[in-house]
Structures are given as C-alpha cells and as structure tokens.
Amino acid sequence: MNKTLKEIEDRLSGFSSVAVAFSGGVDSTFLLAAAKRAKLKKLIAVHVTCQFVPQKETELAKQMARTIGVELLCLEADIFKNEDVVSNSAQRCYHCKKEIFSLIKEKAKQEGIASLLHAVNLDDLADYRPGLKAAEELGFLAPLAEAGFTKDDIRRLSKEMGLETWDKPSQSCLATRIPYGKKILSDDLVRIDKAEAVLQDLGFDPVRVRCHGTLARIEVTADRAVMLFEEPVRQKISTLFKRIGFAYTSVDIDGYITGKMNDEIR
C-alpha cells in the first residue's frame, strides 16, 4: 500500500519542538517539508559541514531550507581530528555520525529543542550503516523508517509536494569512495570531489569515483557506460583526471552501485 503524506504529518504532529539533521538530500528535505506542514511549535534544520561533505551539498541544503521556509543552522566539524574516523575501519561511519550528531544534539539543547530527528528510511535499514547505532545512542528518532516509508515512497511524495529534490541522485559522504583500512587523506577527498564534478559536468549523474591510490574507478549506470569511451568525452576525462592527480582511470563493469565498498566487509 502506498504511503501518504498524511501518515507522516500525523506522526510528526505529535512532537512539540524538533531539530532535523539536514543534508539537503531527498530524504531529509522530505522530512523537513513534512515537519513544516505539521505546524510544529518550533522547527529547525541543522546542517554540519566537514571535509567529507562537498560544498555544493551544503549550498543545496541552504537553498532547500530557504525554499521550505525553515531556519537552518550550519555547524562545522573538523573530522580529521578524529583518528577513529580517518583510520577508516569498518566502524568509520559510527564514529563519524557520533561526532556530527553530538554537535547537532548540543545545538538543539541550546535552542531549547525537545526532539531530534534524522531521515533514515526503511530501505536504509537493509544496508550496512553503523552510523544508525550512533544516532540511536544519541536519542535521534527515525520517523520515516518507523512509519515504513521507502525511498520510492519519499520520491513519489516529494514530487507531489513539488520538491525539486524528488529525483536527486543519492549522495553519500566522500569517505565512502575509499576502501576500508586505507587512511583517509584530505588530498584524496579533494581529488574525488573534483573527479566526480568533472563527470557530472559531462552529464554523468548518478556517478561515483572510487579512489584506489592513484587509480580512479568510475561507476556510472550501465546504460551510460559506453558514453565514457566516446570521443571527445574519453579524452577529456583522461586529461582532466590526470590533471587532478589520478595516474590511471578505470571503469567498473558492474556499474553504479551505492554502498559498493561495503562488499569488502560483508
């Protein structure tokens, strides 16, 4: 049975004051917009910037908060000071979310907010996401997942609401492009961000550039893969990736798969 907007509005209306952990992506934008419609006594969005978040995602978060009409508070985390994160173990996401969500929780307390929400959906629960444990430990609630909303439900209802994020490709932090066990370096994150921007400018979206040292492994959807080898696209990618700092560029024949780095630990 298709989920309805009224279901989530009714659930959210039970809260008095809420802080939404806000990335500006499909799920958090939908949750924030639904919370706005629920006419809560107090509602804020909190966005945390760090070296793992592309600047364009922060700009989108600001834009979407303005569009919805909710106050956005932007915080900053220096994630490279957290050795548990940059060592990049299989628990990296837990340690990262613990730090970021702790900042949100402290800010919400200062603002007199009673409830903390994040926008995990039902599909997310099937993936390897140790960060969910950190969110739960810090008291964040997941109303979308609790109400059984899937990604498809959220995209469909976002479209009905006129939210421009309804068809936005899924985004994840830049650290997910680096194999577990390899220390996360600032230079690698910069190269990944620049490389993905090159491909997005060429019309490839969704896209991932996985970083294996000086080798870049491109993931695009199967129907778009052949376009990577067409001239002058192939030569442009090769030239720009070398300029960015990748000595070698490869294409993953399995195509674009979210969370693919988790295959190494399953």
Same structural domain, 77 and 9: yes
- What's the whole-model pTM score? 0.94
Tally of domains within the chain: 2
Q: Token pair for residue 184? A: 């996360």
Same structural domain, 148 and 191: no
Instruction: Give me the pLDDT at residue 259, please.
Output: 77
Same structural domain, 196 and 126: no
b or e along 168-181 (b: 16 or more beta carbons within 10 Å of the residue's beta carbon)? beebebbbbbbebe
Q: What CATH number is attached to the domain comprising 30?
A: 3.40.50.620
User: 19, 109 in Cβ contact below 8 A?
Assistant: no
Same structural domain, 76 and 188: no
Picking from 167, 190, 205, the residue at the C-terminal end of a domain is 167
Instruction: Give me the pLDDT at residue 262, please.
Output: 75
Same structural domain, 160 and 201: no
pLDDT in tens, the chain (266 residues): 689 999 999 999 999 999 999 999 999 999 999 999 999 999 999 999 999 999 899 999 999 999 999 999 999 999 999 999 999 999 999 999 999 999 999 999 999 999 999 999 999 998 889 999 999 999 999 999 999 999 999 999 999 999 999 999 988 999 999 999 999 999 999 999 999 999 999 999 999 999 999 999 999 999 999 999 999 999 999 999 999 999 999 999 999 988 777 776 65
pLDDT digits (tens, 9 = 90+) for 59-115: 999 999 999 999 999 999 999 999 999 999 999 999 999 999 999 999 999 999 999
Same structural domain, 160 and 216: no
Instruction: Give me the pLDDT at residue 143, please.
Output: 98
Which residue range(s) make up the domain with 206? 174-265
Q: For the chain, where are the E strands, in sequence order? A: 17-21, 42-49, 71-76, 115-117, 140-141, 207-212, 215-220, 248-251
Residue 99, Cβ neighbours under 10 Å: how many? 19
Nearest to 74 by CA among 58, 63, 60, 57: 58
Helix ranges (H only) for 141-248 are 143-146, 151-161, 186-201, 222-225, 233-244
